[in-house]
Protein backbone atom coordinates (compact mmCIF):
# COMPACT_ATOMS: atom_id res chain seq x y z
CA UNK A 1 0.00 0.00 0.00
CA UNK A 2 1.39 3.43 -0.91
CA UNK A 3 0.87 6.39 1.32
CA UNK A 4 2.93 8.95 -0.49
CA UNK A 5 1.73 12.51 -0.39
CA UNK A 6 2.78 15.65 -2.20
CA UNK A 7 6.36 16.08 -3.36
CA UNK A 8 8.83 18.58 -1.90
CA UNK A 9 7.29 21.31 -4.09
CA UNK A 10 3.79 20.63 -2.72
CA UNK A 11 2.52 18.82 -5.83
CA UNK A 12 0.49 15.63 -6.25
CA UNK A 13 1.23 13.90 -9.55
CA UNK A 14 -1.69 12.77 -11.71
CA UNK A 15 -1.70 10.68 -14.89
CA UNK A 16 -4.57 10.75 -17.37
CA UNK A 17 -5.74 7.78 -19.42
CA UNK A 18 -7.52 9.62 -22.26
CA UNK A 19 -7.52 13.26 -23.31
CA UNK A 20 -10.74 13.64 -25.31
CA UNK A 21 -13.87 15.64 -24.39
CA UNK A 22 -13.79 14.99 -20.64
CA UNK A 23 -9.98 14.77 -20.41
CA UNK A 24 -9.57 18.17 -22.05
CA UNK A 25 -12.32 19.65 -19.86
CA UNK A 26 -10.52 18.26 -16.82
CA UNK A 27 -7.22 19.85 -17.83
CA UNK A 28 -8.93 23.22 -18.38
CA UNK A 29 -10.67 23.08 -15.02
CA UNK A 30 -7.55 21.93 -13.15
CA UNK A 31 -5.69 24.85 -14.62
CA UNK A 32 -8.45 27.37 -13.88
CA UNK A 33 -9.08 26.19 -10.32
CA UNK A 34 -5.47 25.43 -9.31
CA UNK A 35 -5.43 28.15 -6.64
CA UNK A 36 -8.82 27.08 -5.23
CA UNK A 37 -7.70 23.45 -5.08
CA UNK A 38 -4.55 24.43 -3.25
CA UNK A 39 -6.60 26.46 -0.76
CA UNK A 40 -8.89 23.46 -0.23
CA UNK A 41 -6.32 20.64 -0.14
CA UNK A 42 -3.01 22.29 0.64
CA UNK A 43 -1.37 20.88 -2.49
CA UNK A 44 -1.16 21.53 -6.20
CA UNK A 45 -1.93 19.02 -8.91
CA UNK A 46 0.62 18.29 -11.58
CA UNK A 47 -0.64 16.42 -14.63
CA UNK A 48 2.48 14.52 -15.63
CA UNK A 49 1.25 12.73 -18.72
CA UNK A 50 -1.79 11.66 -20.71
CA UNK A 51 -2.25 8.41 -22.60
CA UNK A 52 -3.86 8.80 -26.04
CA UNK A 53 -4.27 6.75 -29.23
CA UNK A 54 -3.21 9.36 -31.74
CA UNK A 55 -0.34 11.76 -31.02
CA UNK A 56 -1.21 13.89 -34.05
CA UNK A 57 -4.83 14.56 -33.14
CA UNK A 58 -5.59 18.25 -32.59
CA UNK A 59 -6.14 19.10 -28.88
CA UNK A 60 -7.52 22.13 -27.09
CA UNK A 61 -5.04 24.86 -26.16
CA UNK A 62 -4.92 23.70 -22.51
CA UNK A 63 -4.56 20.03 -23.49
CA UNK A 64 -1.70 20.89 -25.89
CA UNK A 65 0.45 21.66 -22.86
CA UNK A 66 0.14 18.09 -21.46
CA UNK A 67 2.92 15.62 -22.36
CA UNK A 68 1.37 12.74 -24.32
CA UNK A 69 2.24 9.08 -24.51
CA UNK A 70 1.10 5.99 -26.39
CA UNK A 71 2.52 3.73 -23.66
CA UNK A 72 0.23 2.88 -20.71
CA UNK A 73 3.26 1.89 -18.62
CA UNK A 74 4.47 5.51 -18.73
CA UNK A 75 1.58 6.22 -16.37
CA UNK A 76 0.85 2.90 -14.68
CA UNK A 77 4.49 2.28 -13.79
CA UNK A 78 5.51 5.83 -12.97
CA UNK A 79 6.21 5.76 -9.21
CA UNK A 80 5.63 9.51 -8.96
CA UNK A 81 2.01 9.27 -10.16
CA UNK A 82 -0.37 8.76 -7.24
CA UNK A 83 -3.70 9.36 -8.93
CA UNK A 84 -4.71 7.85 -12.27
CA UNK A 85 -7.71 9.44 -13.98
CA UNK A 86 -9.36 7.07 -16.46
CA UNK A 87 -11.22 9.01 -19.17
CA UNK A 88 -10.83 6.65 -22.12
CA UNK A 89 -14.21 4.92 -21.97
CA UNK A 90 -15.13 1.35 -22.96
CA UNK A 91 -14.45 -1.88 -21.10
CA UNK A 92 -11.06 -2.88 -22.49
CA UNK A 93 -8.31 -1.87 -22.15
CA UNK A 94 -9.79 0.48 -19.52
CA UNK A 95 -10.49 -2.39 -17.07
CA UNK A 96 -6.97 -3.81 -17.40
CA UNK A 97 -5.35 -0.39 -16.92
CA UNK A 98 -7.53 0.53 -13.93
CA UNK A 99 -6.81 -2.78 -12.26
CA UNK A 100 -3.07 -2.35 -12.91
CA UNK A 101 -3.15 1.15 -11.41
CA UNK A 102 -4.97 -0.07 -8.28
CA UNK A 103 -2.58 -3.00 -7.90
CA UNK A 104 0.32 -0.53 -8.15
CA UNK A 105 -1.18 1.32 -5.15
CA UNK A 106 -2.48 4.26 -7.16
CA UNK A 107 -5.87 5.84 -6.49
CA UNK A 108 -8.14 5.89 -9.53
CA UNK A 109 -10.80 8.39 -10.59
CA UNK A 110 -13.04 7.41 -13.50
CA UNK A 111 -16.03 8.75 -15.46
CA UNK A 112 -16.60 5.33 -17.03
CA UNK A 113 -20.09 4.07 -16.07
CA UNK A 114 -19.87 1.03 -18.33
CA UNK A 115 -16.73 -0.03 -16.48
CA UNK A 116 -18.27 0.50 -13.02
CA UNK A 117 -21.58 -1.16 -13.99
CA UNK A 118 -19.85 -4.23 -15.42
CA UNK A 119 -16.68 -4.60 -13.34
CA UNK A 120 -17.19 -2.23 -10.40
CA UNK A 121 -17.63 -4.93 -7.75
CA UNK A 122 -14.42 -6.71 -8.71
CA UNK A 123 -12.46 -3.47 -9.03
CA UNK A 124 -13.68 -2.19 -5.64
CA UNK A 125 -12.35 -5.43 -4.12
CA UNK A 126 -8.97 -4.87 -5.76
CA UNK A 127 -8.93 -1.27 -4.52
CA UNK A 128 -9.78 -2.41 -0.96
CA UNK A 129 -7.06 -5.07 -1.07
CA UNK A 130 -4.50 -2.43 -2.02
CA UNK A 131 -5.70 0.27 0.35
CA UNK A 132 -6.64 2.71 -2.41
CA UNK A 133 -9.87 4.27 -3.69
CA UNK A 134 -11.74 4.01 -6.98
CA UNK A 135 -13.88 7.16 -7.33
CA UNK A 136 -16.63 7.55 -9.92
CA UNK A 137 -18.77 10.65 -9.25
CA UNK A 138 -18.58 11.63 -12.94
CA UNK A 139 -20.01 8.28 -14.01
CA UNK A 140 -23.62 9.32 -13.23
CA UNK A 141 -25.38 12.63 -13.83
CA UNK A 142 -22.40 14.56 -15.25
CA UNK A 143 -21.82 17.44 -12.85
CA UNK A 144 -24.65 16.52 -10.42
CA UNK A 145 -23.11 15.23 -7.16
CA UNK A 146 -25.53 12.31 -6.97
CA UNK A 147 -23.05 9.61 -5.91
CA UNK A 148 -21.80 11.59 -2.92
CA UNK A 149 -25.36 12.65 -2.05
CA UNK A 150 -26.68 9.10 -1.95
CA UNK A 151 -23.59 7.62 -0.36
CA UNK A 152 -22.91 10.27 2.27
CA UNK A 153 -25.46 13.08 2.56
CA UNK A 154 -28.46 10.71 2.65
CA UNK A 155 -26.75 7.98 4.68
CA UNK A 156 -29.35 8.33 7.44
CA UNK A 157 -32.19 7.36 5.08
CA UNK A 158 -33.74 4.12 4.00
CA UNK A 159 -34.16 5.00 0.33
CA UNK A 160 -37.00 3.39 -1.60
CA UNK A 161 -37.02 5.31 -4.90
CA UNK A 162 -34.40 6.72 -7.23
CA UNK A 163 -35.86 7.92 -10.52
CA UNK A 164 -33.98 10.04 -12.99
CA UNK A 165 -33.25 11.44 -16.38
CA UNK A 166 -29.65 10.29 -16.52
CA UNK A 167 -28.72 10.39 -20.19
CA UNK A 168 -28.08 13.88 -21.53
CA UNK A 169 -27.98 12.82 -25.18
CA UNK A 170 -31.44 11.18 -25.08
CA UNK A 171 -32.92 14.12 -23.22
CA UNK A 172 -31.38 16.52 -25.71
CA UNK A 173 -32.86 14.55 -28.64
CA UNK A 174 -36.31 14.28 -27.01
CA UNK A 175 -36.33 18.01 -26.26
CA UNK A 176 -35.36 18.93 -29.81
CA UNK A 177 -37.99 16.55 -31.25
CA UNK A 178 -40.70 17.83 -28.88
CA UNK A 179 -40.02 21.39 -29.95
CA UNK A 180 -40.72 20.17 -33.46
CA UNK A 181 -37.69 21.62 -35.17
CA UNK A 182 -35.33 18.66 -35.44
CA UNK A 183 -35.47 15.07 -36.61
CA UNK A 184 -34.04 12.30 -34.43
CA UNK A 185 -30.96 12.07 -36.67
CA UNK A 186 -30.28 15.82 -36.67
CA UNK A 187 -30.66 16.08 -32.91
CA UNK A 188 -28.31 13.12 -32.37
CA UNK A 189 -25.72 14.69 -34.68
CA UNK A 190 -25.95 17.92 -32.65
CA UNK A 191 -25.51 16.03 -29.36
CA UNK A 192 -22.43 14.32 -30.81
CA UNK A 193 -20.97 17.63 -31.98
CA UNK A 194 -21.49 19.07 -28.49
CA UNK A 195 -19.51 16.18 -26.95
CA UNK A 196 -22.47 14.66 -25.07
CA UNK A 197 -22.75 11.29 -26.81
CA UNK A 198 -20.83 8.09 -26.15
CA UNK A 199 -18.22 6.96 -28.68
CA UNK A 200 -20.92 4.50 -29.80
CA UNK A 201 -24.17 6.53 -29.55
CA UNK A 202 -26.22 3.32 -29.53
CA UNK A 203 -25.41 3.29 -25.82
CA UNK A 204 -27.28 6.60 -25.45
CA UNK A 205 -30.27 6.08 -27.72
CA UNK A 206 -30.92 2.43 -26.82
CA UNK A 207 -30.89 3.13 -23.07
CA UNK A 208 -27.73 1.12 -22.28
CA UNK A 209 -25.88 4.12 -20.81
CA UNK A 210 -28.90 4.94 -18.61
CA UNK A 211 -29.05 1.28 -17.52
CA UNK A 212 -25.36 1.39 -16.56
CA UNK A 213 -26.06 4.48 -14.46
CA UNK A 214 -29.25 3.09 -12.90
CA UNK A 215 -27.49 -0.08 -11.79
CA UNK A 216 -24.86 2.05 -10.02
CA UNK A 217 -27.45 4.33 -8.37
CA UNK A 218 -29.58 1.40 -7.19
CA UNK A 219 -26.58 -0.35 -5.63
CA UNK A 220 -25.65 2.76 -3.65
CA UNK A 221 -29.25 3.60 -2.70
CA UNK A 222 -30.26 0.11 -1.58
CA UNK A 223 -26.94 -1.40 -0.45
CA UNK A 224 -27.26 -4.12 -3.09
CA UNK A 225 -24.70 -5.51 -5.57
CA UNK A 226 -24.47 -3.77 -8.96
CA UNK A 227 -26.76 -5.77 -11.27
CA UNK A 228 -26.56 -4.16 -14.72
CA UNK A 229 -27.76 -7.30 -16.51
CA UNK A 230 -31.03 -7.23 -14.53
CA UNK A 231 -32.11 -3.78 -15.74
CA UNK A 232 -35.07 -3.85 -18.14
CA UNK A 233 -33.88 -1.55 -20.94
CA UNK A 234 -35.65 0.32 -23.73
CA UNK A 235 -34.24 3.34 -25.55
CA UNK A 236 -35.77 6.23 -27.46
CA UNK A 237 -34.95 5.14 -31.02
CA UNK A 238 -38.45 3.72 -31.65
CA UNK A 239 -40.30 6.86 -30.46
CA UNK A 240 -42.28 8.73 -33.07
CA UNK A 241 -43.17 12.42 -33.37
CA UNK A 242 -46.84 11.31 -33.42
CA UNK A 243 -46.66 9.91 -29.88
CA UNK A 244 -44.70 12.92 -28.61
CA UNK A 245 -47.52 15.13 -30.00
CA UNK A 246 -50.36 13.01 -28.58
CA UNK A 247 -48.64 12.93 -25.18
CA UNK A 248 -48.46 16.74 -25.25
CA UNK A 249 -52.13 17.02 -26.11
CA UNK A 250 -53.00 14.76 -23.18
CA UNK A 251 -50.97 16.93 -20.76
CA UNK A 252 -47.81 14.79 -20.61
CA UNK A 253 -44.19 14.96 -21.77
CA UNK A 254 -42.21 11.91 -22.87
CA UNK A 255 -38.98 11.55 -20.89
CA UNK A 256 -36.44 8.75 -20.84
CA UNK A 257 -36.58 7.66 -17.21
CA UNK A 258 -34.34 5.34 -15.23
CA UNK A 259 -36.45 3.90 -12.41
CA UNK A 260 -35.29 2.02 -9.31
CA UNK A 261 -38.02 1.27 -6.76
CA UNK A 262 -37.67 -0.92 -3.68
CA UNK A 263 -40.79 -2.89 -2.74
CA UNK A 264 -41.28 -5.39 0.04
CA UNK A 265 -41.16 -8.22 -2.58
CA UNK A 266 -38.10 -6.94 -4.45
CA UNK A 267 -36.46 -4.19 -6.48
CA UNK A 268 -37.67 -3.01 -9.87
CA UNK A 269 -35.01 -1.66 -12.22
CA UNK A 270 -36.17 -0.30 -15.55
CA UNK A 271 -35.14 2.22 -18.16
CA UNK A 272 -37.62 3.32 -20.84
CA UNK A 273 -39.42 6.28 -22.42
CA UNK A 274 -42.14 7.37 -20.01
CA UNK A 275 -45.07 9.78 -20.04
CA UNK A 276 -44.71 12.25 -17.16
CA UNK A 277 -47.43 14.79 -16.25
CA UNK A 278 -46.43 18.13 -17.80
CA UNK A 279 -46.64 19.98 -14.46
CA UNK A 280 -44.01 17.76 -12.76
CA UNK A 281 -40.47 19.18 -12.46
CA UNK A 282 -39.15 16.03 -14.12
CA UNK A 283 -41.23 16.76 -17.24
CA UNK A 284 -39.53 20.14 -17.58
CA UNK A 285 -35.93 18.96 -17.50
CA UNK A 286 -34.79 19.96 -20.99
CA UNK A 287 -31.80 19.59 -23.29
CA UNK A 288 -28.65 18.10 -21.79
CA UNK A 289 -29.89 18.64 -18.24
CA UNK A 290 -30.34 15.61 -15.96
CA UNK A 291 -32.38 15.27 -12.79
CA UNK A 292 -32.53 12.59 -10.12
CA UNK A 293 -35.51 12.22 -7.79
CA UNK A 294 -34.78 10.43 -4.51
CA UNK A 295 -37.29 9.36 -1.90
CA UNK A 296 -36.07 8.46 1.58
CA UNK A 297 -37.87 7.81 4.84
CA UNK A 298 -36.34 10.84 6.57
CA UNK A 299 -35.79 13.40 3.82
CA UNK A 300 -39.03 12.63 2.00
CA UNK A 301 -38.63 13.71 -1.61
CA UNK A 302 -35.54 15.43 -3.04
CA UNK A 303 -34.62 16.36 -6.60
CA UNK A 304 -31.10 17.01 -7.85
CA UNK A 305 -30.78 18.86 -11.16
CA UNK A 306 -27.84 19.87 -13.35
CA UNK A 307 -25.92 19.40 -16.58
CA UNK A 308 -25.72 15.68 -17.28
CA UNK A 309 -22.99 15.62 -19.93
CA UNK A 310 -20.39 17.79 -21.61
CA UNK A 311 -16.76 18.64 -20.95
CA UNK A 312 -17.09 21.27 -18.21
CA UNK A 313 -19.88 19.68 -16.14
CA UNK A 314 -18.24 16.25 -16.20
CA UNK A 315 -14.86 17.74 -15.38
CA UNK A 316 -16.49 19.34 -12.34
CA UNK A 317 -17.18 15.88 -10.94
CA UNK A 318 -13.80 14.46 -11.98
CA UNK A 319 -11.88 17.29 -10.32
CA UNK A 320 -14.04 17.04 -7.19
CA UNK A 321 -13.08 13.35 -6.96
CA UNK A 322 -9.39 14.22 -7.41
CA UNK A 323 -9.58 16.74 -4.56
CA UNK A 324 -11.39 14.17 -2.38
CA UNK A 325 -8.62 11.66 -3.03
CA UNK A 326 -5.98 14.28 -2.18
CA UNK A 327 -7.68 14.79 1.17
CA UNK A 328 -7.82 11.07 2.08
CA UNK A 329 -4.52 10.04 0.58
CA UNK A 330 -2.93 9.84 4.01
CA UNK A 331 -5.99 8.49 5.85
CA UNK A 332 -6.18 4.92 7.07
CA UNK A 333 -8.31 3.07 4.46
CA UNK A 334 -10.82 2.03 7.15
CA UNK A 335 -11.67 5.70 7.75
CA UNK A 336 -12.64 6.26 4.10
CA UNK A 337 -16.24 6.15 2.86
CA UNK A 338 -16.88 2.67 1.35
CA UNK A 339 -17.12 2.64 -2.45
CA UNK A 340 -20.86 1.93 -2.48
CA UNK A 341 -21.58 3.67 0.82
CA UNK A 342 -22.22 0.36 2.64
CA UNK A 343 -19.44 -1.77 4.15
CA UNK A 344 -18.34 -4.35 1.58
CA UNK A 345 -19.51 -7.20 3.84
CA UNK A 346 -22.92 -5.58 4.36
CA UNK A 347 -23.92 -5.38 0.71
CA UNK A 348 -26.87 -7.76 0.40
CA UNK A 349 -28.30 -9.27 -2.79
CA UNK A 350 -31.98 -8.36 -2.98
CA UNK A 351 -34.68 -10.04 -5.04
CA UNK A 352 -35.32 -8.39 -8.39
CA UNK A 353 -38.86 -7.93 -9.62
CA UNK A 354 -39.26 -9.11 -13.25
CA UNK A 355 -40.80 -6.44 -15.48
CA UNK A 356 -43.88 -8.67 -15.92
CA UNK A 357 -44.63 -8.06 -12.21
CA UNK A 358 -44.17 -4.28 -12.35
CA UNK A 359 -47.34 -2.25 -11.86
CA UNK A 360 -47.57 0.92 -13.93
CA UNK A 361 -50.04 2.91 -16.03
CA UNK A 362 -49.83 2.90 -19.84
CA UNK A 363 -50.39 5.00 -22.94
CA UNK A 364 -51.66 2.90 -25.87
CA UNK A 365 -52.09 3.96 -29.49
CA UNK A 366 -53.95 1.70 -31.91
CA UNK A 367 -54.98 1.96 -35.56
CA UNK A 368 -58.49 0.50 -35.77
CA UNK A 369 -60.96 -0.08 -38.61
CA UNK A 370 -63.86 2.25 -37.94
CA UNK A 371 -66.84 -0.08 -37.87
CA UNK A 372 -69.55 -0.84 -35.28
CA UNK A 373 -68.36 -3.00 -32.40
CA UNK A 374 -64.61 -2.40 -32.95
CA UNK A 375 -64.23 -0.30 -29.82
CA UNK A 376 -66.29 -2.78 -27.80
CA UNK A 377 -64.01 -5.67 -28.82
CA UNK A 378 -60.95 -3.73 -27.66
CA UNK A 379 -62.38 -2.56 -24.35
CA UNK A 380 -63.66 -6.12 -23.67
CA UNK A 381 -60.16 -7.59 -24.16
CA UNK A 382 -58.74 -5.00 -21.77
CA UNK A 383 -61.46 -5.58 -19.17
CA UNK A 384 -61.09 -9.39 -19.36
CA UNK A 385 -57.38 -9.01 -18.54
CA UNK A 386 -58.17 -6.67 -15.64
CA UNK A 387 -56.91 -3.51 -17.38
CA UNK A 388 -58.92 -0.45 -16.38
CA UNK A 389 -59.16 2.48 -18.82
CA UNK A 390 -58.49 5.94 -17.45
CA UNK A 391 -59.31 7.85 -20.65
CA UNK A 392 -59.97 7.11 -24.29
CA UNK A 393 -59.79 9.37 -27.30
CA UNK A 394 -60.75 8.49 -30.87
CA UNK A 395 -59.51 10.56 -33.77
CA UNK A 396 -61.54 10.90 -36.99
CA UNK A 397 -60.89 8.02 -39.42
CA UNK A 398 -58.60 8.36 -42.42
CA UNK A 399 -59.95 8.11 -45.98
CA UNK A 400 -59.28 4.36 -45.75
CA UNK A 401 -61.59 4.17 -42.72
CA UNK A 402 -58.82 3.60 -40.15
CA UNK A 403 -59.25 5.53 -36.89
CA UNK A 404 -56.58 6.22 -34.28
CA UNK A 405 -57.43 5.30 -30.69
CA UNK A 406 -55.36 6.72 -27.85
CA UNK A 407 -55.95 5.22 -24.40
CA UNK A 408 -54.49 5.82 -20.97
CA UNK A 409 -54.86 2.99 -18.47
CA UNK A 410 -54.81 2.91 -14.70
CA UNK A 411 -51.92 1.10 -13.03
CA UNK A 412 -51.82 -2.60 -13.89
CA UNK A 413 -49.34 -5.45 -13.75
CA UNK A 414 -47.34 -5.63 -17.00
CA UNK A 415 -48.22 -9.31 -17.47
CA UNK A 416 -51.93 -8.41 -17.50
CA UNK A 417 -51.41 -5.69 -20.09
CA UNK A 418 -49.34 -8.11 -22.21
CA UNK A 419 -52.22 -10.62 -22.12
CA UNK A 420 -54.71 -7.96 -23.22
CA UNK A 421 -52.46 -6.69 -26.03
CA UNK A 422 -51.79 -10.21 -27.28
CA UNK A 423 -55.56 -10.68 -27.68
CA UNK A 424 -56.15 -7.22 -29.18
CA UNK A 425 -53.32 -7.79 -31.66
CA UNK A 426 -55.28 -10.80 -33.03
CA UNK A 427 -58.45 -8.79 -33.70
CA UNK A 428 -59.34 -8.24 -37.38
CA UNK A 429 -60.24 -4.62 -36.64
CA UNK A 430 -56.73 -3.72 -35.46
CA UNK A 431 -54.20 -2.53 -38.04
CA UNK A 432 -50.46 -1.89 -37.53
CA UNK A 433 -48.38 -2.51 -34.44
CA UNK A 434 -49.84 -1.27 -31.17
CA UNK A 435 -47.76 1.48 -29.54
CA UNK A 436 -47.37 1.02 -25.79
CA UNK A 437 -45.55 3.47 -23.52
CA UNK A 438 -45.39 3.47 -19.74
CA UNK A 439 -46.58 6.39 -17.62
CA UNK A 440 -45.34 7.58 -14.23
CA UNK A 441 -47.32 10.10 -12.17
CA UNK A 442 -44.71 10.70 -9.39
CA UNK A 443 -47.44 10.51 -6.79
CA UNK A 444 -47.01 7.01 -5.34
P1 LIG B 1 -13.57 10.81 -26.01
O2 LIG B 1 -13.76 12.24 -26.33
O3 LIG B 1 -13.81 9.79 -27.09
O4 LIG B 1 -12.09 10.64 -25.45
C5 LIG B 1 -11.50 9.39 -25.24
C6 LIG B 1 -10.00 9.59 -25.03
O7 LIG B 1 -9.41 8.35 -24.70
C8 LIG B 1 -9.25 10.11 -26.27
O9 LIG B 1 -8.25 11.01 -25.88
C10 LIG B 1 -8.61 8.85 -26.86
O11 LIG B 1 -7.38 9.09 -27.53
C12 LIG B 1 -8.35 8.04 -25.60
N13 LIG B 1 -8.41 6.60 -25.84
C14 LIG B 1 -9.50 5.86 -26.14
N15 LIG B 1 -9.17 4.56 -26.27
C16 LIG B 1 -7.84 4.49 -26.06
C17 LIG B 1 -6.90 3.42 -26.05
N18 LIG B 1 -7.27 2.15 -26.31
N19 LIG B 1 -5.61 3.70 -25.79
C20 LIG B 1 -5.22 4.98 -25.53
N21 LIG B 1 -6.08 6.03 -25.50
C22 LIG B 1 -7.35 5.79 -25.77
O23 LIG B 1 -14.50 10.36 -24.80
P24 LIG B 1 -15.14 11.30 -23.66
O25 LIG B 1 -16.44 11.83 -24.15
O26 LIG B 1 -14.12 12.22 -23.13
O27 LIG B 1 -15.53 10.18 -22.57
C28 LIG B 1 -14.56 9.60 -21.74
C29 LIG B 1 -15.24 8.81 -20.63
O30 LIG B 1 -16.07 9.69 -19.87
C31 LIG B 1 -16.19 7.71 -21.12
O32 LIG B 1 -16.16 6.64 -20.20
C33 LIG B 1 -17.55 8.38 -21.09
O34 LIG B 1 -18.62 7.45 -20.95
C35 LIG B 1 -17.41 9.21 -19.85
N36 LIG B 1 -18.28 10.37 -19.74
C37 LIG B 1 -18.40 11.22 -20.79
C38 LIG B 1 -19.20 12.36 -20.66
C39 LIG B 1 -19.36 13.34 -21.78
O40 LIG B 1 -20.18 14.25 -21.65
N41 LIG B 1 -18.62 13.20 -22.88
C42 LIG B 1 -19.87 12.58 -19.47
C43 LIG B 1 -19.73 11.68 -18.40
C44 LIG B 1 -18.92 10.58 -18.55
P45 LIG B 1 -7.30 10.03 -28.83
O46 LIG B 1 -7.58 11.42 -28.34
O47 LIG B 1 -5.90 9.90 -29.32
O48 LIG B 1 -8.34 9.53 -29.76
N1 LIG C 1 -23.32 10.04 -23.14
C2 LIG C 1 -23.65 10.40 -21.81
C3 LIG C 1 -24.92 11.19 -21.80
C4 LIG C 1 -22.53 11.19 -21.19
O5 LIG C 1 -25.32 11.67 -22.85
O6 LIG C 1 -25.52 11.33 -20.74
C7 LIG C 1 -22.75 11.51 -19.73
O8 LIG C 1 -22.64 10.36 -18.95
CATH number for the domain spanning 214: value is 3.30.360.10
Q: Percent of the chain, pLDDT > 70?
A: 98
Residue 5 domain-assigned (yes or no): no
Which residues make Cβ contacts (< 8 Å) with residue 391, sequence separation at least 6? 250, 407, 408
- Same domain (yes/no): 293, 378: no
Q: What is the DSSP letter of 352?
A: B
Atom nearest to 191 CA in ligand 2: 5
Nearest ligand (C-alpha, residue 112): 1
Residue 351 domain-assigned (yes or no): no
- Same domain (yes/no): 323, 404: no
- Same domain (yes/no): 298, 196: yes
Instruction: Quote the ligand 2 centre to 409 CA distance (angstroms).
Output: 32
Which residue positions in the chain have pLDDT lower than 70? 1-5, 8, 444
Give me the pLDDT at residue 432, please.
86
- Same domain (yes/no): 124, 220: no
- Same domain (yes/no): 251, 231: yes
Instruction: Quote the ligand 2 centre to 322 CA distance (angstroms).
Output: 20
DSSP string, 246-310: HHHHTTEEEEEEEEEEE-SS-EEEEEEEEEEETTSGGGG--TTEEEEEEEETTTEEEEEEEE-SS
Strands 289-296 and 300-307, how do they pair?
Answer: antiparallel
Minimum CA distance residue for ligand 1 atom 41: 196
- Total domains in the chain come to 3
CATH number for the domain spanning 366: value is 3.30.70.260
C-beta 57 within 6 A of ligand 1? yes
- Same domain (yes/no): 158, 292: yes
413 part of the active site: no
Give me the pLDDT at residue 5, please.
63
- Same domain (yes/no): 96, 180: no
d(C-alpha 428, C-alpha 444), whole Å: 38
Instruction: Quote the ligand 1 centre to 111 CA distance (angstroms).
Output: 9
Residue 65 domain-assigned (yes or no): yes
d(C-alpha 374, C-alpha 437), whole Å: 22
Contact status, residue 164 vs residue 295, Cβ threshold 8 Å: no
Give me the pLDDT at residue 2, please.
44
Q: Which of 106, 113, 118, 213 is catalytic?
A: 213
Give me the pLDDT at residue 153, please.
98
Minimum CA distance residue for ligand 2 atom 1: 197
Contact status, residue 194 vs residue 178, Cβ threshold 8 Å: no
CATH number for the domain spanning 131: value is 3.40.50.720
Contact status, residue 233 vs residue 207, Cβ threshold 8 Å: yes
- Same domain (yes/no): 24, 112: yes
d(C-alpha 227, C-alpha 118), whole Å: 8
The residue range of the domain holding 127 is: 11-142+312-346
Atom nearest to 86 CA in ligand 1: 29
Amino acid sequence: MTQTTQDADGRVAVGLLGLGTVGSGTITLLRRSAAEIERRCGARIEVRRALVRDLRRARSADAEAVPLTLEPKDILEDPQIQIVVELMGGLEPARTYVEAALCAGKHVVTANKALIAKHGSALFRVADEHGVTLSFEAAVGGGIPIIKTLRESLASNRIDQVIGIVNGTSNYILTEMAQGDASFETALAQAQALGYAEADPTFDVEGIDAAHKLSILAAIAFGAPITFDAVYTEGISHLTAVDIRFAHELGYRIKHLAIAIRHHEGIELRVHPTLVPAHRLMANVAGVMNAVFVRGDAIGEALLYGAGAGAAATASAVVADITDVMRVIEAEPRYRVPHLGFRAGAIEPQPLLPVSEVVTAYYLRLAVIDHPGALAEITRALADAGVSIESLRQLPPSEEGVATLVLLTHGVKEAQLDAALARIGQLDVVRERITRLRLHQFDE
